[in-house]
A = this chain, B = another copy of it.
Amino acid sequence: MQKMISLTTFSDEILPKFNHELVGRLRDLDTEKALKESMIYSVEAGGKRMRPLLIFVICQMFNHEIDNGVYSVAGALELIHTYSLIHDDLPAMDNDDLRRGKPTNHIVYGESMAILAGDALNTLAFEWIGRSDVVGDAQKVALMSRLAQLAGPEGMVGGQVADIEGEHQVLSLTQLKRVHKRKTGDLIEFAVYAGGILGNATTEQQAELIQYGRQFGLAFQIYDDIMDVVGTSEEMGKAVHKDNQENKNTYPGLIGLDQSYDTLRNVIDQAKVAIQNLKKTGLETGYLEELLHYFKLKN
């Protein structure tokens, strides 16, 4: 087997191309200039592109070319993620003026445009998957249905409602897990699901990918909560120590920092079990392992 380039090199190669394609497609839309600018502003505001990267890594693992069809699906996922951030930041929601150091969408374009830009991105995601010319119809239907389910009332939007409702009460750990699972985990689960569908994973491989994705999503949220306590703004690229001020339910808040690290370690171990099982089916799982290095286990 050919020696693989590192995940960093892989991601440094692919993400700029993906970003270019993403913004290019938005620029080509035949719609009002202000709407387009508002959509592009938030999509370009960037972030780590963690969800698209998961799709790319899994396609690579199945030797599936990262073509326009893969970009359509990864792009759709990023559109949904972006719309959710725009709406989350609205005055009636979290009322945030800054995201990743930049003024939020409604600060720049006004509240009505921010609502409509979010709506437009949400809908456009489904068009991108539907119109991709290199993905089969059965795959498209599976991808669009699953994305709608994981992003909709039973998924991300429901998690968002549960999160808001939970702000004024202390949740149990089970409740907190369920909020996070839907609010953050479900779009990450879509990423691994989509990678598997695009790469023609077997049923067994698909199940392990989902298992990996769920653990990854959970680790992502626990780590985010931990870093809000121990991290610096610089490391995190956003304000820290906010959760406590805002009475958010968090892992450190509910079970303390040490046990949060223990839980994180445990979750990562479970992700590693899924990786081992994928390896046994003959896949090169190096990138999935490297992705777990994102979580720094200091203790």
Contact = CB atoms under 8 A, between A and B. Distances in A.
Nearest to A39: B153
Contacts of A158: 31-32, 35, 120
Number of copies: 2
Contacts of A125: 148
A157 B123 contact: yes
Interface in A75-113: 83-84, 87, 90, 92-93, 110-113
Interface residues of A, number: 51
Contacts of A30: 154
Contact of A122 (B32, B34, B90, B119): B119
19 contacts: A29-B153, A30-B154, A31-B157, A31-B161, A32-B161, A32-B162, A35-B158, A36-B153, A87-B119, A120-B152, A120-B153, A122-B123, A124-B148, A125-B148, A126-B145, A130-B141, A130-B144, A137-B138, A141-B141
Interface of A: 29-32, 34-36, 39, 83-84, 87, 90, 92-93, 110-113, 115-116, 118-120, 122-127, 130-131, 137-138, 140-141, 144-145, 147-149, 151-154, 157-158, 160-162, 164-165
